[in-house]
Structure formats: structure tokens, C-alpha cells
Amino acid sequence: MDLFSLTLHEIRDMMRNGEISSKEVLDSVYGRIEAVEDKIEAYLTLTKDYAYEAAESIDKRRLKGEKLGDLAGIPMAVKDNISTKGIKTTCASKMLENYIPPFDAHVFEKLKEAGAILVGKTNLDEFAMGCSTETSAFKITKNPWDLERVPGGSSGGSAAAVAADEAYFAIGSDTGGSMRQPASLCGVIGFKPTYGAISRYGLVAFASSFDQIGTFAKDVEDCAIILNYLYGYDEKDTTSLPIEFGDFKEALNKDIKGMKIGLPKEYYDKGIDGEVKEMILDGVKVLERLGAHVEEISLPYAKYAVPVYYIISSSEASSNLARFDGVRYGYRAKEYKDLEELYVNSRSQGFGSEVKFRIMLGTYSLSSKCYDTHYNRALKVRRLIKQELEEAFVKYDILITPTYPTIASKIGEKSEDLVAMYMSDICTVTANIAGIPAMSIPCGFSKGLPVGMQIMSKAMGEADIIKAAHAFEKNTNYYKNKPTL
């Protein structure tokens, strides 16, 4: 049996029963990485020495009879925009190519305390801006199901690592869909929490009113286990919610009879591939057979979600990224005549073209000429989209949509057409605009490639998502399919 191919909870049980050690689990995962990483290129940095030291310490504690938690000795991956003390955190940008953070992100600290073991930092679109992981300054991660295709983005490295069994779970960030979208294209679970539920302390900021940290998992039970460790108030993040979410494992194995599901028709419209749509509707039928009530609904403001998202997120990015000037942070150009040229050259050479485009778009939207017509108007429409969703959740427990309009595209296919690329965020950005939780769960295959179904709930309704997702998974088992590598 290949240990690397098991789920987190299966490997946890084996370690608890004394059948295997944490070191053996790590050997298996690094063996897998050695075998497939050349093809996938999910990682930017591997942390082998660090990982073996951590595994040894877990094994010692276990031998002494210490009772260890669910994550003790579990190999994980972390997206390279999440700070790891003493370990490079590049944001896949030349700007931070040599940046070694002097502190840990809150989530990484919590995961370490729980005994999870970092195997490496994963690739992403530069500063998490993108939908395909093609804007990374360092490498293009491949989709494990078809090496000529993108894994999705921006957390493409994390999603591909889990799909290719190069880690049992992976942490990523989601500003407009960057967890759910690659999860959908790689056939794993991707979860984005309620805004403020997971601390972002130590996440390199892209668009602060949207950014959230979330997780990729092999199955729903694993997802519930990981979320238990990520959630919780953190005084170092001023947007952190002082709320107790309870044990997510309690939402597993629940009856979904009577659950009310809304299908917003705008998300099943033209632009969504026919076969993808069919898979989602088949998935909804599974839930209906289990006793859920399903109705079509309408969210007329949904069509404005993509422009609203791109205007506000780029505005926030232009401000957040101002700190990378070659003086306070980041790459410094070798040649410059004066201070101004130092800034200009450092930023021109340090940032890639997608990041520069967002900074310009944001600066333009915030300029005195455009502030009211662009930025302020987008804020107003954001409120309408939020209200519309809040009203829908008075009647429905969850909403189900596709996660992504198509299957994974070929590398290079969409990167020339920015509008097509941005429009493909149509299904995911709404949850970030409204600050609500959402999950993508595998729901079938089209042309041999994975398709994900998105489940959203009202803010703080994550238990409903887990409940529905687990019921779906138990009756379908799509997660058991693995790519041949």
C-alpha cells in the first residue's frame, strides 16, 4: 500500500495505532515528491531537513505515550504567500525572491503547534493574482490530470500537490476564488471560510477586504479536521471574528432531509460549459434524493460581480503593494541615479506584468477623476450583491453553483485573453464580495478532467456546507479517483 495515497484521517489512525511512524509517512511523501514533482512542479521550496527534524520529535513524543492531536505527524504544504519563519516566502515574485520572514503566520504557528509537518512551500500566481498559476515568476505548475493543462489558480501549487498525493493537505489563500477554483480543476476539496473566521496575520496582503486563508483536503472529513485547527480569534488580525465555531466534525454524517437548496439561475447561464452544468445538476439530484428541497432562484446583481471584484481588489492591491519599493521591502534595482529612479527601477524589474497591470488598474480607479465613477460605484454595487445574498439565505440553507465555467484549459490558452481569464472568476468572486463561506467539492469528470461543485452558505454557516458536502461525498465517492502519474 502506498501511504502517500491515503487520506489524512486514515494516516492519523495508523500512526495512532502504532502501525507506522511519522518518519515513515514522511519518507513516503518525499518518495512521491521525488517520483512526480519534476512533472508537476507544485513546489517552490522543499523543507526536507526541517520536516525530518519535526517528524523525529513527533515520533519521540508518541513513543513516550503522549496523546497527540489529529494533525500530529501529518505532512502538509503551504502556499508561498503565507509567512514561515526562517523559510523563504516569495509570493512567486522576483520582488520577494530572497525574502525570509522573521515570523510565522498565525495559521502556520497553529498548525505547527498541532504537529503538522511542512514539506514545502507551493507555487502560485504572482502575489496570488491570476487564475492559472501561469503568472508565477518561477515556474508553471501542471495539472496532475493532464500535464498540458493548468492546475487553476492562484493556489495552483497547493491544489496540485494534494491532487498528486505530494501532501495530505495544503493551505492556500482565496481572494476571488483561489482555493475553490484550482480545487475544482484538480479534483480535490477547496474551502474558503467566512470573512474574519481564520486569521490572516502573516498572509502577504493582496486585497484586504477579500483575502482569506483556507484549506485543500482529500475528503470532507479531512477538511473538517483541518478547519478545527485553523479557525479561532486572533488579536493580531483586526478583522478576526471573536466567535466560537465549535467542532466541525459534528457536522459530518448528518441527515440532510429538509435542507433547502437554491440554484441561482445566473450561474447556469451561457458561458458555463454544457457538460459542466450537467455534472452540477446531477450532483444536485443526489442531494435531492437524500431529502433536500431544491428550487431555482434568481440573483440579478450577480452579473456585476466580476467588474466589482476587479475594481475593488485592484484598488486595494495598488495600496497594499506600495510597500514593495526596494527600500522598505523587496527587490532593489542595481542601477539608479536618484531616489525616484530607485523606486521606478526596483518596481519595474521586481514585479511581473499581471501585477503591474493590477496596480495600474487600481491606481486609475482610485484617481480623483475615477474615484466616484469606478471605485465608489463598485462599493455600492458590492453592497447590493451582499444584500441580495443575505435575502436568499433567509430562505435557503445553501446555494449550489458550478465552481468554474469549464474544465482546465491548456497552458497558454487563456493567458492571452485577459477578459476571458477574468470572466472565468464569475462563479467564485461572489462569496468573497459578500464575505460568506464556500467550498468546491469534486462532482464528476468531463473529458477525463475533474469538475467541482460549489456550495455556499450564509456567513458563519460553514456547518451546513460540511453537512451537505459530506452527504454528497458518501453517496458519490468521486474523491477516490486519482490521476495516473
Cell reading at 329: 521591502
For ligand GLN, give the closer residue by CB, 228 or 314.
Answer: 314
Least separation in angstroms between CB 456 and ligand GLN: 15
For ligand GLN, give the closer residue by CB, 177 or 450.
Answer: 177
Q: How far apart are CA 431 and CA 301, in angstroms?
A: 13
Does residue number 240 form part of the binding site for ligand GLN (CB under 6 A)?
A: no
Which of these is catalytic: 21, 28, 79, 409? Answer: 79
Q: How far apart are CA 302 and CA 430, in angstroms?
A: 7
Least separation in angstroms between CB 206 and ligand GLN: 6
- DSSP H or E segment with residue 455: strand 449-457
Task: Say how many residues make up the chain.
Answer: 485
Q: Which of residues 397-426 bind ligand GLN (CB under 6 A)?
A: 425
Whether 77 contacts 157, CB under 8 Å: yes
Q: How far apart are CA 359 and CA 191, in angstroms?
A: 27
Which of these is catalytic: 132, 178, 313, 346? Answer: 178
Q: Which of residues 126-155 bind ligand GLN (CB under 6 A)?
A: 128-131, 154
For ligand GLN, give the closer residue by CB, 172 or 283.
Answer: 172
Does residue number 361 form part of the binding site for ligand GLN (CB under 6 A)?
A: no
Least separation in angstroms between CB 48 and ligand GLN: 28
Q: How far apart are CA 419 and CA 357, in angstroms?
A: 13
For ligand GLN, give the closer residue by CB, 46 or 312.
Answer: 312
Closest residue by beta carbon to ligand GLN: 178
**How many positions of this chain bind ligand GLN (CB under 6 A)?**
13
Which letter does DSSP use for residue 479 in this model?
G
Would residue 365 show up in a list of annotated catalytic residues for this protein? no
Would residue 79 show up in a list of annotated catalytic residues for this protein? yes
Least separation in angstroms between CB 413 and ligand GLN: 16
For ligand GLN, give the closer residue by CB, 55 or 306.
Answer: 306
Nearest to 24 by CA among 73, 77, 70: 73
Would residue 369 show up in a list of annotated catalytic residues for this protein? no
For residue 420, how many other CB atoms are within 10 A of its CB?
Answer: 15
Q: Give the torsion sign (CA, 103, 106, 112, 113).
A: positive
Of the residues 93, 178, 318, 320, which one makes contact with ligand GLN according to CB under 6 A: 178
Mark residue 228 as left, alpha or beta (left: phi above 0; alpha: psi -120 to 50; beta: remaining).
alpha
Q: How far apart are CA 48 and CA 120, in angstroms?
A: 8
Does residue number 157 form part of the binding site for ligand GLN (CB under 6 A)?
A: no
Find the Cα–Cα–Cα–Cα dihedral 361, 363, 365, 366, rounded to 10°: 160
Q: Which residues would be at the binding site for ligand GLN (CB under 6 A)?
A: 128-131, 154, 174-178, 206, 313, 425
Q: Catalytic residue positions?
A: 79, 154, 178
